[in-house]
Amino acid sequence: MFGLSTVFTVLFVFSYFFFDIGEDLDVVLGFNASNLFLGICLGMALLLIGAGAVQWSRKLMADAEIVEMRHPARSSDADREETVGKLNTGIEESGIGRRPLIRNSLLGALGALGLPAVVLLRDLGPLPGDKLEQTVWRRGMRLVNDISGMPLTPSDIEIGQLVNGEPAVFFAEGPDGEKLYHGAELLQAKAKAAIVIVRMDPTEITPAPGRENWGVDGILCYSKICTHVGCPISLWEQQTHNLLCPCHQSTFDLADNGRVVFGPAARAVPQLPITVDEQGYLVAQSDFLEPVGPSYWERG
């Protein structure tokens, strides 16, 4: 096998020079001949080395079990006594037992080093209060495309389609022409309010009690933030209605209230109740009714 592998390696080099590439491409069975033969030859050369090594180890190498005994882990009594002796000598020579002032001031200095850590705890505040429980979504706020900022109508979304969305307020401007949200404030608000909007055949949706009117003609809206550790999710399998998180493969069934069907996420992805306004645009009925984002000890 090893000899045959060498033959394929030589053929690989031969193929490299033999077949034309570029405009006068050689074609075999509809494939680029150079790529085809280079791939086959290199693949066979590697495969034969692997297969040969396996055969060699299985058929020719000795198959006897060998047991190697470990030496005792415990040191001998003599070694232990010597170590204790050296330790005591070191303590004696350091004078720590005879100089209580130095010893105590050293211990005090080491203890005082804990104080800066306590002071630094102040930088963890202020406590977030209920900020983690709320997003900028409010009743009547339009759902817009997250790139164009265009408000969405039900006819903009086809069955099987997923659209990444945001609240319209992120694109709104104040009287001075400035965006209402910008900088770090915008990023923080976006991290909680990002959504995915999907449309399914209404007959395939099984809304939980109380959620019967949370969608519009098969259009449902969910948080885009994974409930595991908060990755943005928008990998959508339209056949299974599953939304997949690329970070650790948590999978949520959007036809079944965002239920977790696979992976480490501990709770369903939150759903945003939506409806249409008088102009026919998709709008939120309210904020999310549960916290969005990662689970932690208070959220399960």
Contact residues for ligand FES, defined by CB under 6 A? 226, 228-231, 245, 247-248, 250, 263-265
In whole angstroms, the minimum distance from the beta carbon of 249 to ligand FES comes to: 6
Of 11 and 226, nearer to ligand FES (C-beta) is: 226
In whole angstroms, the minimum distance from the beta carbon of 289 to ligand FES comes to: 21
Give the amino acid at 129.
G
- Are the beta carbons of 154 and 216 closer than 8 angstroms? yes
Of 33 and 247, nearer to ligand FES (C-beta) is: 247
Of 38 and 229, nearer to ligand FES (C-beta) is: 229
Of 5 and 223, nearer to ligand FES (C-beta) is: 223
In whole angstroms, the minimum distance from the beta carbon of 227 to ligand FES comes to: 8
In whole angstroms, the minimum distance from the beta carbon of 263 to ligand FES comes to: 5
Of 39 and 264, nearer to ligand FES (C-beta) is: 264
Please tell me the distance from the alpha carbon of residue 127 to that of residue 123, in angstroms, as a whole number: 10
Instruction: Give strand pairing partners of 259.
Output: 253
CB-count exposure of residue 198 (10 Å: 0-12, 13-18, 19+) = buried
The secondary structure of 97-128, three-state, reads CCCHHHHHHHHHHHHHCHHHHHHHHHHHCCCC
In whole angstroms, the minimum distance from the beta carbon of 250 to ligand FES comes to: 3
Place of tokens 């069934």: 253
Of 154 and 263, nearer to ligand FES (C-beta) is: 263
- Are the beta carbons of 8 and 48 closer than 8 angstroms? yes
Question: Hey, what are 15's tokens?
Answer: 């193929």
Q: What is the separation of C-alpha 297 from the centre of its chain, rounded to a whole number of angstroms? A: 19
Going from the C-alpha of 236 to that of each of 100, 163, 233, the distances in angstroms are 70, 10, 9
Of 198 and 245, nearer to ligand FES (C-beta) is: 245
Instruction: Give strand pairing partners of 253.
Output: 242, 259
In whole angstroms, the minimum distance from the beta carbon of 219 to ligand FES comes to: 24
- Are the beta carbons of 227 and 266 closer than 8 angstroms? yes
In whole angstroms, the minimum distance from the beta carbon of 293 to ligand FES comes to: 10
